[in-house]
Homo-oligomer: A and B are copies of this chain.
């Protein structure tokens, strides 16, 4: 197995592309070779930091000598095209979520890739969070017995800008999709029914785009297991990410970590410091570990642990949730996939 750094082309240098680029620079096992980004300022900034090339066409990127892998971090409607072309060019691919906003296109993409779908890692970074990984392992080895009730609480500190909302595909495809993947990562079954409720409790912008700012989703498993997911686009106390899984032998739960481990006792009681601001801070280590895992699996030529098939399944749950919330009725997954 080669110990040389893995040569990578970065497609798209928005917020998330920049995050991956910074991790590549800090990781001696990866080398960013080129960036494709139409915004020249952004492209230049990445090129300087990583001492890499700027390219202006996708073909140029995948044909650059040394490029073994492609990070697809461009706008969602370009994912499918870039993923397919990269795989066909024999590259390993990392694809940011979601696969596509349209379930049909996503399905077609997975079908077209066939066996090669395992060469695409889907950008569900939270699977690489050390705490969520520990929870998955505990559930798999039976520490809490048979899984019965799950609660996921996931709240953003503040609503995204209107432009982002307009292109996001709605809260279920953009935000809840991470929670769907998290739950799927440890549930030993696929959920069969979805009942979702959505409302606009505070954001007129979000309402204007016919989207929801606050949702509550209930998933029902084949054996009567339930999972409740609560999302809000606003949380006064930071980025909240909790989960608890109740089983026949106990509960396992993820707490909100904090940047410091300080507590105060004053006349007002006991206080702990604020939560992490948002996902780049909260999940910093998961992105680092994701890159490490990507390099390891690529070097081994082994299938990735989270694939475009996982992307498709979570997208289908998002589609069901949207239909359920709009129609105020439970939706059977057999009607979706």
Contact = CB atoms under 8 A, between A and B. Distances in A.
Interface of A: 25-28, 49, 130-131, 134-135, 138, 143-146, 148-149, 151, 153, 155, 195, 197, 199-202, 214, 216, 218, 220, 223-226, 228, 230, 232, 234-237, 240, 246, 248-257, 259-275, 328-330
Contact of A218 (B25, B26, B216, B270): B216
18 contacts: A151-B230, A195-B195, A199-B226, A201-B248, A216-B218, A216-B228, A234-B248, A235-B246, A236-B248, A236-B267, A237-B266, A237-B267, A250-B264, A250-B265, A253-B265, A268-B274, A270-B272, A328-B330
Contacts of A232: 148-149, 246
A264 B249 CA distance: 10
Contacts of A218: 195, 197, 216, 218, 228
Given A25-B28, A201-B223, A230-B149, A251 B265 contact: yes
A27 B286 CA distance: 19
B226 A197 contact: yes
Given A262-B253, A262-B255, A330-B329, A273 B134 contact: yes
A148 B203 CA distance: 13
B255 A263 contact: yes
Contact of A228 (B230, B257, B330): B230
